[in-house]
């Protein structure tokens, strides 16, 4: 059985493949967007992570006829009213400029005292079956926004995020360590029972 | 009787003086920070407009022994979770760079559709009497964030804000028009009964 993960990110694909195998769903083959015919990717204009994840999964399922999983993730900072949130990847106005986005957040939080620098990575993951069910779940990973970047793993805001209970930033964790506790790992694992149910119903 | 308005902004001083005279409180002399001895201005690190306004009025009253009024204002955009909010003046990471702040907001809202571009200017105004009462009120001015700046009056985000019921931006209104309907005008007028009560009690 083939399932589409609506991403071109090889890291995300590997992560879902590992999770799926661990769950004993060895018969599921996880494809990425690069494995299927091109279809126009709509811009993410939803007001919530959930809205974006569901829309992306719907588009992918509709275009390919495959059951599709999609996620939308970002950093939600308390002192910024929950932003950058759905705008995490384009916070500086430039899409995908991780360094500019991170520097802007540090500038905005410059005068925000340590006790108000809480925040969390959030991921919504949606599972959509063509003409069928639609599930969306959320994973969160709470922590603190520090004042200077540390570490080179990961991407995005990882270098300025210290998860609760850690002294290292997310960018100083090993990828497998991060998978085990991160927002997206949590969200994807929450989807698995629904994926399993669907697989067993086929 | 002398009252201190904790600002160095001549426009704000003129506005409060006009409002005070209109209310029939001709005996009140409104001083600005430039009229009193220097005192260290604390950075605004509150989580809310109210917190900042009260702190600023307290500092001013304590340093001068005068009854003091202070305001804190900003633009609260729905699609940005209520931000730039208390960070309005330093949204781009650079304090007081109106053009950079405005451009950043436009970039962040680039993919936000018209129906979700609501927002409002907010002002909290506090009145603090040395060793006495403390009042804080809020004024709001709702409208829409447009996609290109228009107009040269006002300051800050005025050129991208079209108030509800208007076709012009706040930067296309005449100063007196703006006073009559704006967030800070509303907040300052809400303070007047408390100011009057205080004056009559002396």
Contacts of B107 in chain A (CB under 8 A): 90, 92-94
User: How much is the ipTM here?
Assistant: 0.83
> Which parts of A are annotated binding residues for substrate?
7-12, 73, 155-158, 178, 183-184
* Closest B-chain CA to A42: B111
Residue A38 has pLDDT above 80, yes or no: no
A111 vs B45, B81, B111: nearest CB: B45
Residue B122 has a pLDDT of 98
Residue B22 has a pLDDT of 85
pLDDT, chain A, mean: 93
Residue B26 has a pLDDT of 85
Q: Which residue has the higher pLDDT, B96 or B187?
A: B187
**What are the pLDDT digits (tens) for A51-89?**
999 999 999 999 999 999 999 999 999 999 999 999 999
- Do the chains contact at A92 and B83, CB–CB below 8 Å? no
Name residue, tokens 């500038």: A107
* pLDDT level of residue A37 (50, 70, 90 thresholds): confident
The mean pLDDT of A32-56, rounded to a whole number, is 88
Q: How far is A177 from chain B (nearest CA, A)?
A: 31
Question: Which active-site residues of B does the annotation give?
Answer: 72
Q: How far is A158 from chain B (nearest CA, A)?
A: 20
- Do the chains contact at B104 and A93, CB–CB below 8 Å? yes
Question: What are the tokens at A164?
Answer: 């609760």
B82: contact with A, CB 8 A cutoff: yes
B11 belongs to an annotated ligand binding site: yes
pTM of this structure: 0.88
Residue A121 has a pLDDT of 98
Residue A96 has a pLDDT of 86
A108 vs B93, B112, B116: nearest CB: B93
Three-state SS across B10-70? HHHHHHHHHHHHHCCCCCCEEEEHHHCCCCCCCCCCCCCHHHHHHHHHHHHHHHHCCCEEE
Residue A39 has pLDDT above 80, yes or no: no
Report the distance separating Cα A119 and Cα A124, nearest Å.
16
B79: contact with A, CB 8 A cutoff: yes
A38 is catalytic: no
Residue B160 has a pLDDT of 98
Residue A168 has a pLDDT of 98
8 Å CB contact between A102 and B85? no
């Amino acid at each position: 059985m083939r399932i589409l993960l609506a991403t071109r990110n090889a890291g995300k694909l590997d992560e879902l493949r590992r999770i799926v195998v661990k769950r004993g769903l060895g018969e599921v083959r996880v494809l990425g967007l690069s494995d299927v015919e091109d279809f126009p990717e709509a811009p993410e204009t939803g007001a919530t992570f959930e809205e974006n994840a569901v829309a992306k999964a719907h588009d992918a399922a509709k275009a390919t006829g495959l059951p599709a999983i999609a996620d939308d993730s970002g950093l939600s900072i308390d002192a910024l009213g929950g932003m950058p949130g759905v705008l995490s990847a384009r916070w500086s106005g430039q899409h995908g400029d991780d360094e500019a986005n991170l520097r802007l957040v540090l500038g905005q939080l410059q005068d925000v005292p340590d006790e108000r620098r809480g925040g969390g990575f959030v991921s919504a993951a949606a599972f959509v079956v063509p003409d069928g069910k639609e599930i969306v779940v959320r994973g969160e990973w709470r922590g603190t926004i520090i004042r200077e970047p540390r570490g080179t793993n990961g991407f995005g805001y990882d270098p300025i995020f210290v998860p609760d209970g850690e002294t290292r930033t997310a960018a100083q964790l090993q990828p497998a360590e991060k998978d085990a506790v991160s927002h997206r790992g949590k969200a994807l694992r929450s989807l698995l029972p629904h994926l399993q149910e669907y697989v067993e119903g086929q």
